[in-house]
Amino acid sequence: MKFLLLLVLLHVVFSVPPFHGTKIGEKTIIQIAEEKVKAFTRTKGFGSLQTYNIEGPNKNKWIDEKGKTVGDPKNYEFKAPGSLLIKKVSALDEAHYDYIPLVPPKPVVLPPGLHIDPGVTGVTLNFFPTSK
């Protein structure tokens, strides 16, 4: 029975993305990847996807699915190889952050009937309660 509980606990620990806690108004840096990145993505609680490009015409801006800039671009700064500095955290920043790698991974050819789960990537930014 203890072994079964250990397996369930390990599954939960390795299935949940790591979280980064902060308070609104604070400066924070989120390490999203350890490799070079092409862009960051963040998924808001209601499912909308926003992209932060490291290069190109939308460099250093959060762009929503409709192509509109979200938030103040001066509030965010890319830190190589895969971190994002948020100068002043706001409610707009609470999301799950992930990345698009600069070099896409090579596809792995598996024998028939074999499947590898992709695993969990990224970091979820949560807020700590503030006392009044």
CB within 8 Å of 88: residues ≥ 6 apart: 25, 26, 27, 75
Which portions of the chain are predicted below pLDDT 70? 1-20, 129-132
Report the pLDDT value the prediction gives residue 11, as an integer from 0 to 100: 44
How much is the pLDDT for 2?
66
Number of H helices, E strands in the chain: 1, 10
What is the structure's pLDDT at 130? 60
Q: Return the pLDDT at 45.
A: 79
